[in-house]
Structure 1
Amino acid sequence: MSQSTTLQVEGMSCASCAGRVERAAAALPGVTSANVNLAMKTLNAEYGEGTDARSLAEAVAKAGYQVETEDTRLEVEGMTCASCVGRVERALKAYPGVTGAEVNLADGSAVVHLYSGAATPTELAQVVQRAGYDAHPLDTGAPRDASLKRNEEMAAQRRAFLIALGLTLPVFLLAMGAHFVPGVQHLIDTTIGQTADRVIQFALTTIVLAWPGRQFFRHGVPMLLRAAPDMNSLVALGATAAWAYSTVATFAPGVLPAGTDHVYFEAAAVIVTLILLGRTLEARAKGQAGAAISKLIGLAPTTARVVRQGKAIDLPVAELREGDIVELRPGERVAADGEVTEGRSWIDRSMLTGEPAPVETGVGDEVVGGTVNGEGALSFRVTRTGEAATLSRIVRMVSDAQGGKLPIQAMVDKVTMWFVPAVMAAALVTLGIWLIFGPAPVLAHALVAAVAVLIIACPCAMGLATPTSIMVGSGRGAELGLLFRKGEALQRLSEAQVVAFDKTGTLTEGHPALTDLVTTAGVDRATVLSAAAAIEAKSEHPVARALLKAAEQEGAAPAPVEDFAVIAGHGVSGTVSGRRVLLGNARLMQREGVDIAPLTDTANRLAVEGKTPLYAAFDGALVATLAVADPVKDGAAELIATLHRLGLKTAMVTGDAEPTAQAIARTLGIDKVVAEVLPEGKVDAVKALQAEHGALAFVGDGINDAPALATAETGIAIGTGTDVAIETADLVLMSGDPAGVAQAVQLSRTTMRNIRQNLGWAFGYNVVLIPVAAGILAPFGGPMLSPMLAAAAMAASSVIVVSNALRLKRAGPWPTGNRT
């Protein structure tokens, strides 16, 4: 059968390029035509067996060009179990040009990876529809808040359950009342009689199946006719079997063997009612699982006070443009990303970064949309809006992570592909065994056992076990300032054996600061600092900025400088308040004949600590030694201690000199140091650590860290770092605090433990209870399992899985350091 695919090809610039691409595609077996549109940069190919879109893309790549890829997001309705997920994924992956698909049962979404131009979102939605489910494209740019849809689903399920409950209660009382209240059966027989009793049960049960229970038939029967049964099919078959047998026993009892004309209307009605109850509770729990996205989207205000043509007017946030000046009053939420142009206040960023303390913000500082202003008034210039805004990017990251599929899910997919057909086969086998070996009444026992097998099986729990935990875990991470950009990072980080850090800007502040100032006898600290700042005021060296900042913080105002001079490789000199001041290294002092012996031991000690020692002299006499260093971030030592407590090795990869790197490593307790590494050498360092220790997480913040972040099993970017690092990483620490690494490791381990609990329950439940439902205990004197109890167990199974996942909403924050 011939197929046609259109691919978007990058890199073509002339007719020669077009011809090369056409020849590469035409050379593949099965390709009947290949045509390139150079203006549109597309390749259209028709082909039969032996070739697919991936082969075409590989052929184009070998020819020296690149086929672009894109992601399309769909909303899928009607999925109820893991079998549905597998069916939708297989249908999408079979479509020409699609390279992969992940379907999430918990939030009803599908992310499709495909070659650009191979298919439109509408075509992909039609693929899903042909598989038996409703689907429509989602806007990939706009943040998706599924809370409204979940609320509608929960309301619909609650309404269906309440209707079913009202109709089922009389059926249950008529059929089972005698088991609870003696004399009920006698009362029924002497008033309305057995025939009327059965007709009433028939009428009410029929309404239950046809009205609130029709959702099982609307979805289940078409899938059964497609030979692709799902959870709805099992319920529809089980309820129909009980209803049909009871209907025959009511209106044509002579058709059945003597003594087998029992009715099971209450089983059919209660099955539907209990499963509707389970779906109501499940919908409610799933709504709570996806609450993180709703909370994030809810951070954005709807209006902003914008200055236009000299007047401040209220406008919808959607109408903001880059460059607009926005007035921010006390207590208001920031409407968009921007830069403060006027005023000073304190901004609460906890909802985005997890930082508990507000941040002082003034002119020139950045503000982020969704954060809350304190008591001051500000004006800011809008720098990012729409999809580019930080809040939109965070929502998109969390949404992508929640829709991701973990490697552990591959095993679940293989099982669930055959689960429902296997259950139906087991029900048939159960029916046959009971018909052959069962006690009288044979048919009644066989029917009860077969229906119980159909009803108790729960692929829903298996389908929800992983995605629900991912949704809640990644949502909790967002609340803690941990943005998992990819769902699989939750699993990979839990498997890490070693955590490697870049030094500058990650473990340290990223800029030098004055750490020590030791004076000789009789010399005032403020005098030395003022003179040092004065002489460095004319320098652009990083050390100069450190001394100027220290002087400002200590109130040591720089004095005027004369005869300023830079002595290359040594330091600086100048005249301050009539005194000749020298500031530099030991070589400068030796050259100028300054005796540094009184402070040599102090300077050596500072150097061993990884600091850069300097000397200061007034009129040829030594007055002080100063030390400048890139200070270690608060909490870095506690972070390393926590990682060790978690059983992880730690490493530092830096371009710094070996002595400095070793000094910082000793201070922090880092296990291994790879120093004097050029930017391009960081990838080799990561690979060497992987070979020695195993799975590795790399933490960095700069552009030069991007290749290492991509090479590591898990790349972790400091949120205050560059956009390149953030876009390359699997996990972003929004607060910029490296302590988030330990929080992320513990969250990933907790989430994976939760997933294993869910899978253990889902598989264990089915493995144990399906044989019980089939009557395996009956030959040993055990009970037969009523279809009603089977329905209750099945409904409870999904609720238990989702409720267990919801425990992750309370995960963390965890203690740091050596505390347990």
Structure 2
Amino acid sequence: MTHNYQVTGMTCSGCENKVKSSLLLLPEVTAVDVSKDTKSAKITMTNHIDLAVLQQALGNHYQISLPSGGASTEEKKSCCATHTHQKAPIIVHPAQAGKFYCPMHCEGDKVYDKAGSCPVCGMDLVQQPIINHSVEYTCPMHPEIITDKPGDCPICGMDLVRKETSISEENKSYKNLLGKMKISLLFTIPIFIIAMVGMFHPNPLNRIMDDEKWNWVQFILSIPVVFYTCWMFFVRAYKSIITWNLNMFTLIGIGAGVAFLFSVFGLLFPHLFPQEFESDHGSVHLYFEATTVILTLVLLGQLMEAKAHDKTSGAIKALLKLAPTEAIVVVNGIDQPISIHDIKKGDLLRVKPGDKIPVDGKINQGFSSVDESMITGEPIPADRKEGDNVIAGTINGTRSFVMQADKIGSETLLAQIVQMVEDASRSRAPIQKLADTIAKYFVPIVVVIAIITFFIWQQFGPEPRLIYGLINAVAVLIIACPCALGLATPMSVMVGVGKGAQVGVLIKNAEALEKMNKVDVLVIDKTGTITEGKPSLEKIVSFDNNEDDLLKKIASLNQQSEHPLAKAVVDFAKAKSVKLVSVNDFETIVGKGVVGTYEGSKISLGNQKLMEHIGAIVSASIAEKVIAEQQLGKTVSYIAIDEQIAGYITITDAIKETSKNAIAELLNQGIEVIMLTGDNENTAKTVAEELKLSSFKAGCLPEDKLKEIKKLQATGKIVAMAGDGINDAPALAQADVGIAMGTGTDVAIESAKITLVKGNLQSIVRAKKLSHHVMRNIKQNLFFAFFYNVLGIPIAAGVLYPVFGLLLSPMIAALAMSFSSVSVIGNALRLRTVKI
């Protein structure tokens, strides 16, 4: 059942994501469609959920009600431009992990508790990876001993070894299909041999038995194939017809079913058939070999698809394997082994050389180099010292260190990456709509073509006309493959998103992946995007020559701010052992600076706009000094005490080494690169000239960036926006493709559609290349699927017979159909090897 609700309080894409993820935690909820623009939520649920339960799931940040509710004026204001959000962690939903979904996403985000087939397309459901899988330990000598912790066997004293507690349902499905395939071959091969040898004149098998008895042998041998190993195809065909979700199995069921029933009827009642149905030996043409070979080949295709599906989700599984299952906790100076699931926040963990880092945290003691390539895509190990952050799944170098656990379970970056890849893999690209529209009418059209084929052959074909009509109609039904169309997009998206994750490019959904290929304008912020985002205070200038006192005031003011420039001031003061004090009435004025009250005086620190805002006058002599600093590419912030200019500080933020090369490459691709920054005109101009940007605009407030992007979009441009700050969030949400630096703020990451783990512009080049390769791969798949069906169906109908005398056997048609879907998946798998 599906109900519509009104949700108030949503003001950005981050809000939409938080509402959706919170509602999906409810076990009864199977799908959620949320829109901040209409302030609505469309919820699909297995049974009715009370409004109070829904409200409890959302907490106090958002209000859910029936559609009659209204939104207040206050709710319409853009929260992103005025305050920060607490990041909603990407949660691995326990209600969905390990469940099953259709690889063609016929029902969107709907999942199932058990393995089976999709009720719409009939394909085998695929299991979602179990992200936080449990680990058990057992004794090699006494397997009945099972525990969830390492240790000694209570019987023999041997060390317990790891035991995988479960085999994925995907592997179970593959093994089940493999077993059925062996049985099918065991019975199909003799039937095929009997039928082929029967074509010889004289038939050598007649020395043993006559044709009628051999027909009975074929019938008996076909029973296990039709009613056991391949019976699922007929079940799926029946379900597709009664639900009118016509699909590939509709065609297979009709085609193989007609051939089998015709053969059984011909075996039991041969006297009811006209003479033209009889063979040279006087018995009716039977098609047990065609039926069993067709079904066995379709089963082979399913087997190959099951194997290929395992590879398409290989990136997710590779990410899952990064997380270790054990860690070493330090308790009172003693090292103790512990399961990763027992780690608590604040625990001290020892990481030995070569070990995987178990959770996210900070180095508490020691230093080392850490291989982070599996997360960031950067091959060079990063040096990490005391106080530096380390990421779960990365590999320690040659030194041991002790770290403090800060984020555990689904809070770790690795778990968030896995969940983002999982969600993106199951999203639908806009190009999929074309395939969906065609697939909707595909099966009925094929059935009509098969019927027309039969009547044309029956009216105008050579003798035996009815036999030709029946065989060619069956071939038409069997060769058509709507699944190749359906798989063309999702398989490429799944592999492409996984490939991106391996190089530090996280795609939130398939739509962003498709749009990235069309981007012709890239808008970028300066601080943290072009530059390192790690500014340092170079000098402080005081007009009353009391720099230490002025530093104490602005550092005390900035200790309440999270802005990178504020951190630079505080770090500079701490390095000089300046003692900070509390400040009252602290306020951040977005895009301008900060103000507060220090010992009765109003302290202001910010740009020219802040000085104008508070009424402080910048003299010509001061402005001249500041401009000189800005022309050197430095950022200058004025200091005012009680609306009087008291001094200024200069801050440097080095341009990233990767920025120049990345921007040059993007410009060579014909992409405009525009910088919108809140910094001053002189500093922005220096940076723009050094990087040879297409254009720039300085002094931008959050609303200015938003307006500029809307203006570009109004001219028909496809705009990507890259940023990392709170003030970038509205622009990131407005852009066709929002790109957040993984080193940036949580709200920026929430608002973006692509996140760059490493946080440099070279990753944007990678994202662009990835999008290009994926879209080209999708188009190749769609072309193959279209071309295959457009070419195959007429050949199966017999268009080549009048000129070349060629007909397509239903068995060859079955082989071609089975390999069509596998070919699409195989082409998608090529994305794993592309260099981006």
How do residues 735-754 of structure 1 correspond to structure 2 at under 5 angstroms? Answer: 735-754=758-777
Please state whether the residue corresponding to 2:369 is helix, strand or coil: strand
Q: CA deviation at 1:200?
A: 1.8
Number of the residue aligned with 2:269: 252
Q: Is the 8 A contact 1:300 1:370 kept in 2?
A: yes
| Structure 1: distance between partners of 2:635 and 2:757 | 31
Secondary structure, aligned partner of 1:421: helix
Q: Distance in 1 between matches of 2:239 and 2:51?
A: 42
Q: Which residue of structure 2 lines up, in the alignment, with residue 235 of structure 1?
A: 252
- Give 2:179's match in structure 1, choosing from 139, 159, 183: 159
SS in 1 for 2:760: coil
Matches of residues 617-656 of structure 1 in structure 2 within 5 Å?
A: 629-656=652-679
Q: Paired residue for 2:195, among 157, 175, 198?
A: 175
Distance 1:74 1:317 in 2: 18
Matches within 5 A, 1:643-682: 643-682=666-705
Query: Using the alignment, how far apart are the partners of 2:759 and 2:7 within structure 1?
Result: 39
* SS, match of residue 759 in structure 2: coil
Aligned partners of 2:604 and 2:245: how far apart in 1?
78
The corresponding residue for 1:500 is: 523
Distance 1:165 1:308 in 2: 60
Structural mapping, 1:33-182, within 5 Å: 58-61=67-70, 73=96, 86=106, 89=107, 102=108, 110=110, 148-177=168-197
Is the 8 Å Cα contact of residues 164 and 208 (structure 1) preserved in structure 2? yes
Contact 1:147/1:287, CA 8 A, preserved across alignment: no
TM-score (norm. length: structure 1): 0.74
Letter in 1 for 2:177: Q
Greater shift, 459-468 or 125-134, is seen at 125-134
Relative to 1, partners in 2 of residues 1:707 and 1:140: Cα closer, same or farther, differing over 3 Å? Answer: farther
Q: Using the alignment, how far apart are the partners of 2:792 and 2:123 within structure 1?
A: 29
1:645 Cα shift? Answer: 2.2
* Superposed displacement of residue 61, structure 1: 3.9
In the TM superposition, residue 762 of structure 1 has moved relative to its aligned partner by 0.8
One-letter amino acid matched to 2:258: A
The aligned counterpart of 2:389 is 366
Paired AA for residue 183 in structure 2: I
Match of 1:26 in 2: none
Task: Report the counterpart of residue 444 of structure 1 in structure 2.
Answer: 467
Q: Distance in 2 between matches of 1:590 and 1:410?
A: 59
- Letter in structure 2 aligned against 1:493: M
1:708-746: per-residue Cα shift (whole Å, max 9, x none)?
Answer: 110101010111111111111111111122210011001
In 2, the alpha carbon distance for the partners of 1:138 and 1:799 equals: 21
User: CA 1:651–1:779 in structure 2 vs 1: closer, same or farther (change >3 Å)?
Assistant: same
1:268 aligns with 2:291: yes
1:764 aligns with: 787
CA distance in 2, matches of 1:479, 1:371: 12
Tell me how far apart the structure 2 counterparts of residues 127 and 192 of structure 1 sit (CA, whole Å): 42
Unaligned runs of 5+ in 2: 10-47, 58-63, 76-90, 135-163, 278-283, 540-546, 556-563, 579-602, 606-618, 638-648
Q: Distance in 1 between matches of 2:552 and 2:249?
A: 78
Change (3 A) 1:539 1:358: farther
**In the alignment, structure 1 residue 215 sits paired with structure 2 residue 232:** yes
Q: In the alignment, residue 228 of structure 2 is paired with which amino acid?
A: W
Q: In 1, are the aligned partners of 2:674 and 2:693 still within 8 Å (CA)?
A: yes
- Whether 2:201 is the aligned partner of 1:201: answer no
1:689 maps to which of 712, 720, 723: 712
Higher-Rg member (1/2): 1
1:789 corresponds to which residue?
A: 812
Equivalent positions of 1:332-371 (< 5 A) are 332-371=355-394
CA distance in structure 2 between the partners assigned to 1:259 and 1:369 by the alignment: 73
How far apart are 1:781 and its partner, in Å?
Answer: 3.9
Shift in Å, 1:588: 8.6
Change (3 A) 1:215 1:723: same
Work out the CA distance in 1 between the residues paired with 2:239 and 2:566: 76
* Contact 2:8-2:71 within 8 A present in 1 as well: no
Give the 3 Å change call, closer, same or farther, for CA 650–194 of structure 1 in structure 2: same
Q: Please give the secondary structure, in 2, of the residue aligned with 1:655.
A: coil
Could you list the per-position Cα deviations for residues 678-712 of structure 1 after superposition, in whole angstroms to 9, with x for gaps in the alignment? 13321112112223461100000111111111010
**3-state DSSP of counterpart to 2:740:** strand
Name which of 459, 479, 490 aligns with 1:456: 479
Would the aligned equivalents of 1:147 and 1:294 in 2 still touch at CA under 8 Å? Answer: no
The range that moved more, 272-281 or 535-544, is 535-544
1:219 and 1:159 map into 2 onto residues whose CA distance is 20
Contact 2:722 2:732 in 1 (8 A): yes
- Secondary structure of the corresponding residue to residue 664 of structure 1: helix
**Distance in 1 of aligned mates of 2:516 and 2:3:** 38
The answer as to whether partners of 2:241 and 2:250 remain within 8 angstroms in 1 is yes
Q: How far does the alpha carbon of each residue in 1:138-180 deviate from its partner, in whole angstroms, 9 at most, with x for none? A: 899968999822222222222222221222111112212467x
CA 37–345 in structure 1, closer or farther in 2 if over 3 Å, else same? closer
Question: Could you say what secondary structure the match of 2:655 adopts?
Answer: coil
CA–CA separation in structure 1 for the residues paired with 2:656 and 2:49: 58
Conserved? CA contact 2:742–2:759, under 8 Å: yes
The separation in 2 between residues aligned to 1:127 and 1:58, in whole angstroms, is 36
Cα deviation, residue 675, structure 1: 1.3
* Pairs within 5 Å for 1:789-808: 789-808=812-831
Letter in 2 for 1:657: N
For 1:324, the equivalent position in structure 2 comes to: 347
Q: Contact 1:643–1:650 at 8 Å: present in 2 too?
A: yes
**Within 1, Cα distance between the matches of 2:571 and 2:731?**
33
The letter for the 2-side match of 1:471 is: M
Change (3 A) 1:589 1:155: closer
Any stretches of 5+ residues in structure 1 without a counterpart? 12-33, 44-54, 90-101, 104-109, 112-120, 517-532, 561-567, 571-584, 592-599, 615-625, 814-820
- Asked if the contact 1:10/1:65 (under 8 Å) is kept, the reply is no
Asked if the contact 2:450/2:477 (under 8 Å) is kept, the reply is yes
Shift of 1:758: 0.4
Pairwise CA distance, 1:544: 12
The 8 Å contact of residues 36 and 42 in structure 1, kept in 2 or not, is answered as no
How many Å apart are 1:396 and its aligned residue? Answer: 0.6
Partner of 2:400: 377
Q: How many residues align?
A: 677
Following TM superposition, by how much is the alpha carbon of 1:236 offset from its aligned partner in structure 2, in angstroms? 1.8
Letter in structure 2 aligned against 1:396: Q
Tell me which moved more, 742-751 or 435-444. Answer: 435-444
TM-score, normalised relative to structure 2: 0.72
Indicate how the Cα distance of structure 1 residues 429 and 201 shifts in structure 2: closer, same or farther if over 3 A, else same. Answer: same
Contact preservation (8 Å) 2:120, 2:240: no
Spell out, residue by residue over 1:621-662, the C-alpha distance to the aligned partner (whole angstroms, 9 max, x if none): xxxxx9963221102111111112222111111012222212
Partner residue, 1:563: none
Structure 1 distance, partners of 2:494, 2:620, is 59
Q: 2:31 is matched with which residue? A: none
Deviates more, 1:631-640 or 1:775-784: 775-784
Change (3 A) 1:209 1:544: closer
The verdict on how the C-alpha distance between 1:590 and 1:791 changes in structure 2, with shifts beyond 3 A counting, is: closer
The whole-number CA distance in structure 1 between the counterparts of 2:356 and 2:131 is: 23
Provide the secondary structure at the position in 2 that maps to 1:330: coil
Q: The residue matched to 1:59 in structure 2 has which SS?
A: coil
Question: Residue 269 of structure 1: CA displacement?
Answer: 1.2
Superposed displacement of residue 421, structure 1: 2.4
Q: Determine the C-alpha separation between the residues in 1 that align with 2:211 and 2:765.
A: 69
Residue 69 of structure 2 aligns with an amino acid whose one-letter code is V
Question: In 1, Cα distance between the equivalents of 2:252 and 2:188?
Answer: 16
Q: Which of 392, 415, 431 is 1:408 aligned to? A: 431
